[in-house]
Structure 1
């Protein structure tokens, strides 16, 4: 695993760029014509190929940059698992009976009514992926673990919550071209520092590899890409935090998620100088 020093991090970033670009070409070749086409917010036809490409590229590069095989496995479980159920929701969620259900609360309301939506499958799948990745981080030999069983259990659940919560939050931002990718890059950049920074470098590289196509509306991340990036960022955060840090991160994630049920992030960004310009930077003009 390449995780030592600036040169090592730069190599991991490069590996992420190459992996995402190679995966994008592979997805485009493998997909049947039109099967991944969707209509975006401007009515343009955009391919969902960006999602599997960035999920695969970021997962592989994050694993490559991990400090040891345990953290690498956690990255693969989180990115691969969250990406897979996100792709299922991208495909199955496009059906008319599924598209009517919106938001976390809407999917839970449908479940209470006896309907298992693709969104519910995604929610459960992301949670399971987060728990699996957190369990791997919990046995990382390089990590200091709480001494008592209750403390270890709490630490495990906090880690799973951070991974699943970050996956959900990045997905909530994926409403405009490049927005979720830019947010992921901004979060990943400071996480590349220190002994735990290799996975974040891989994530950043994969985002850089896919961002031009995302901004130009040739591809979109969809739930597959956004969930995978978020889950991988959650691993990068949880890996470098103890229980207190994980609890703080989870509190922020919970507050932002709750806010999203009442406030439109798109409207907030549009009204806020600085955020508005950053959101539009590099995006294709109408």
Structure 2
């Protein structure tokens, strides 16, 4: 039964995402225009993939029986704060350092609001996931909340080329979904399924996750870690995401990927 739930989470998420992506072109221009952007290659893309991913992943979590609604909170909460940055954000401040610097000067950016929102979302999801656990503790939940917020941010840092953030999500979530019935398996499967449903348009360069979808994807991977591990595993995840976030302020991930043959081939695989 548990294996069926894990599979159901993936199938429902994939089907919902694919369906949402299929109908996006039928939406009124008054809606779709707000989500249009220009990608790295100078081509027009839609960020509507982001809401499609977040809603599909949440549906997958419900179908898979994710504990106490934690997956829904992670997907829709992180996605909602990402949407704020997608629709109302500006480029005057970039990165964690930029937003915190603006906040220190008394400027409240949408990015700063998102940082606080992701932290609150991560903590809420972690507390929900820990309900009923015999080894639960406030410290472990706090670490888990920070890990969820951290993975949400890292996924967003990778959403710079077609398919990159989706591939990273699948690679990170697959080991967690690989043991059907284990804690976190259904959550990870929902993240994978939603990625599969969104992948065709993303790889063709027609759509991208944006902050909405990337934050939701990363938050679900982080939540799957929280559901699977205790405070030690969560602390490792937090340390990795913190290191990557700090590194992103100094190093271009795109340059690192392009200079490594294996990473470059994986990054470009499947693109139109």
The TM-score normalised by the length of structure 2 is: 0.93
- In 2, Cα distance between the equivalents of 1:231 and 1:67? 14
Q: SS of the residue aligned with 1:274?
A: helix
Q: SS of the residue aligned with 1:46?
A: strand
| Cross-structure match for 2:76 | 80
Question: 1:250 Cα deviation (Å)?
Answer: 1.1
Partners of 1:83 and 1:223 within 8 A in 2: yes
| Cross-structure match for 2:238 | 250
Q: Say whether 1:167 aligns with 2:165.
A: no
| Cross-structure match for 1:149 | none
Q: SS of the residue aligned with 2:207?
A: coil
Q: 1:122 aligns with which of 111, 114, 124?
A: 114
- In 2, Cα distance between the equivalents of 1:262 and 1:216? 30
1:208-235 residue CA offsets vs partner (Å, 9 max, x unmatched) = 0001100101111000000000011111
Partners of 1:27 and 1:53 within 8 A in 2: no
- In 2, Cα distance between the equivalents of 1:27 and 1:128? 30
- In 2, Cα distance between the equivalents of 1:247 and 1:188? 17
Residues 1:255 and 1:160: Cα distance change in structure 2 (over 3 Å): same
Q: 1:104 aligns with which of 77, 96, 117?
A: 96
Moved more, 52-61 or 28-37: 28-37
Partners of 2:148 and 2:218 within 8 A in 1: yes
Q: Say whether 1:57 aligns with 2:49.
A: no
Q: SS of the residue aligned with 1:115?
A: coil
1:49-88 residue CA offsets vs partner (Å, 9 max, x unmatched) = 10000011012202321354x1xx1111111111001011
Give the alignment's Cα RMSD to 1 decimal.
1.5
| Cross-structure match for 1:12 | 9
Q: 1:278 aligns with which of 233, 250, 266?
A: 266
Partners of 1:27 and 1:52 within 8 A in 2: no
Q: SS of the residue aligned with 2:33?
A: coil
1:167-186 residue CA offsets vs partner (Å, 9 max, x unmatched) = 00101111111100000011
| Cross-structure match for 2:178 | 193
Q: SS of the residue aligned with 2:34?
A: coil
Question: 1:137 Cα deviation (Å)?
Answer: 1.6
- In 2, Cα distance between the equivalents of 1:248 and 1:122? 23
- In 2, Cα distance between the equivalents of 1:257 and 1:160? 16
Q: Name segments (4+ residues, structure 1) moved above 4 Å.
A: 25-28
Partners of 2:5 and 2:65 within 8 A in 1: no
Q: 1:232 aligns with which of 202, 220, 225?
A: 220
- In 2, Cα distance between the equivalents of 1:211 and 1:244? 33
Q: Which runs of 5+ in 1 are unaligned?
A: 147-151
Q: How many residues align?
A: 267
- 1:258-269 maps to which residues of 2 (within 5 A)? 258-269=246-257
Partners of 1:178 and 1:283 within 8 A in 2: yes
The TM-score normalised by the length of structure 1 is: 0.89
